[in-house]
């Protein structure tokens, strides 16, 4: 957006038509609603490990592992619920009934790419605070907990 339009769009009151002049001419715009702030962050393995050690943390959050069952059999972390990405068609349509969109949700995979895709999708489904484990379980194993096998 050009600066003049951006300023008008983000300062306009709800439901009021405002006009704005830019290098492209005059514009009329109306803000009909505002989105609630959604948070999508990457969390570093060390920071996640600190939180993971606190028993109250596990009671307050949702932990999702999107790896396939054969990957989970090789290495896993306790308390993660497995939602294999290949089975998305099975669990995807029911995700808001299986999980609470208002709770902090942490997503993990092998290297952090599949979980980032799922984290972004969860946001689109109304999940307010979603955290992707940067580098996945591999980074967690190599930087924080060497007892977790790597593969």
Give the integer Cα–Cα distance in Å for 42 and 36. Answer: 20
Q: Which two tokens stand for residue 71?
A: 């990957």
Per DSSP, the residues of 22-64 read ETTEEEEEEB---PPP-EEEEE-HHHHHHHHT-HHHHHHEEEE
Give the integer Cα–Cα distance in Å for 114 and 133. Answer: 11
> Among all residues, which ones are annotated catalytic?
109
Give the integer Cα–Cα distance in Å for 91 and 85. Answer: 9
- Taking the chain, what is the end-to-end CA distance rounded to the nearest angstrom? 45
């Amino acid at each position: 957006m050009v600066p003049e339009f951006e300023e008008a769009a983000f300062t306009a009151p709800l439901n009021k038509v405002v006009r704005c002049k830019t290098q492209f001419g005059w514009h009329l715009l109306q803000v009909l609603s505002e989105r609630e702030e959604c948070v999508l962050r990457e969390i570093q393995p060390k920071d996640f490990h600190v939180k993971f050690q606190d028993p109250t943390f596990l009671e307050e959050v949702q932990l999702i592992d999107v790896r396939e069952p054969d990957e989970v059999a090789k290495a896993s972390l306790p308390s993660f619920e497995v939602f294999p990405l290949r089975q998305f068609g099975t669990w995807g349509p029911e995700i808001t009934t299986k999980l609470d969109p208002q709770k902090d949700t942490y997503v993990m995979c092998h290297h952090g790419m599949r979980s980032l895709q799922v984290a972004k999708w969860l946001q689109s489904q109304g999940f307010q605070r979603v955290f992707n484990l940067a580098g996945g379980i591999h980074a967690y194993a190599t930087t924080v907990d060497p007892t977790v096998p790597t593969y």
